Every structure is written in C-alpha cells, then in structure tokens.
Amino acid sequence: MFYKIVVIIMRLYLRVFNRWTISGRENIPSQGPLVLIGNHVSYWDPVILACSVNREVHFMAKAELFKVPIFRQIIKWLHAFPVKRGSADRNALRISAELLNQGKVLALFPEGTRSKTGELLPFKPGAALFALRAKAPIVPIMLLGTRSTFPLTLRGKIEVRIGEPICFNELFEQKISNEQLEEATLVIREKMLSILKEV
C-alpha cells in the first residue's frame, strides 16, 4: 500500500512540475518475470523508473542506505533490498532470483553507479545474467532530464523512453559461457544507446 501511495504522489508531482512524458509503455509485458534496465545519472532515477511502468518494481540498493533504521524501513516498503557493491553478494543474488521466479519485476542500473557526465558507462553483466537464468525478457528504459531537474525545480522536463523487450530465447536452455554473457551484455547496452541516439 505504501508503495502505491508514493507512486501516485510522485506521478502527480512529475506531471504538474516536470512536464513528464513517457513513450513505449506498451513494451512492458503485463505479467511474468521481467528485468528492467535504466541509465543512471540521478538519485531520483529509481523513483522515476518505478512511476513510469504499470507494474510494481523491485530494486537493488547499495547496502549503505540500509544503515539508517528509519530510512531502511522506508526503502524496504518501496521494494528495495540491499546489495554489497564490489563483491558477489549471494544474498542479493538469491533475492533477485526469487523475485523473478515469482514472476515479479526486477529493475537494475547496469552501469553500477551514477554517470557524472550523462554518458552511458560500460555495463556490468548482472542484468543479462538474471534474465537468462529466469528466462525473462529485458526492457531497456532511457531516463532523460533527471540529472538537471530534481529536486524541486519547475523548469526541467523529464522524458522516459521505453524500448522493446530483448529476449535471448536461444540461450535459455544452455549453460551460459562467460563469452555469451559478455555478448548479451553488449547487446543490451547497444539497445540503450540506440534509444539515446533517437533523442
């Protein structure tokens, strides 16, 4: 309930103050496991991404955010769970797999950190790995204007472009090699770049 209330409030804010537009929302499958990927330039990106789709979204968030008790509870209500960056966090991997196996939506920022220039950084392989293991499509989402707009500016415009689902059906029944994982990661990054080039 808390998640839905926050999304409703933030959608209203975005419409009123930031000329928020979304294209490609029809590319989001209405059910089944799904991996969403987005570019990352602002702390507000998870909120804006969640507001832009019509399914509840679960996020990885850096473990440091969970050290403050009140804030920890709030982001848990917003479907975030901790991940220790810089190492293979088995608990975060387990939670991600469970969410996808339950047919839920997992959102990731495959750059692994915020881009300070706005340019798309190299991708880490996590998104492709989760999608392949869960036999789930990946939907790329480009967030535009989030770095300069928030917080509390009435001038900025936020545009969200949702790309078509990317499926690796031919790899679903295989044991994935590191080379195949790297190739799949390059494919999804190229899809993100193609959306950016259309701007």
**Which CATH number is 2-7+19-197's, of 3.40.1130.10, 3.40.50.1970, 3.20.20.70, 3.40.630.10?**
3.40.1130.10
Question: What burial letters (b/e) apply to 176-195, b meaning 16+ CB within 10 Å?
Answer: beeebbeebbeebbebbeeb
- pLDDT of res. 30: 94
- The conformation of residue 6, written as its DSSP 8-state character, comes to H
- pLDDT of res. 151: 60
Instruction: In whole angstroms, give the CA distance from residue 18 to residue 160.
Output: 12
Instruction: In whole angstroms, give the CA distance from residue 89 to residue 73.
Output: 21
Strand partners, 106: 35, 58
pLDDT tens readout for residues 69-126 = 888 888 999 999 988 876 667 888 899 999 999 999 999 999 988 998 889 999 999 8
Q: Checking phi first, is residue 103 left (phi over 0); if not, alpha (psi -120 to 50) or beta? A: left
Q: Cis (ω within 30 of 0) for the bond into 151?
A: yes
- pLDDT of res. 18: 86
Q: Are strands 105-108 and 57-62 parallel, antiparallel or unpaired?
A: parallel
- pLDDT of res. 5: 95
- pLDDT of res. 153: 60
| Backbone φ and ψ of 57, nearest 5° | -115, 140
Low pLDDT (below 50) residues in the chain: none
Instruction: In whole angstroms, give the CA distance from residue 68 to residue 50.
Output: 23
pTM (2 d.p.): 0.91
For the chain, which residues make up each domain, given as ranges?
A: 2-7+19-197
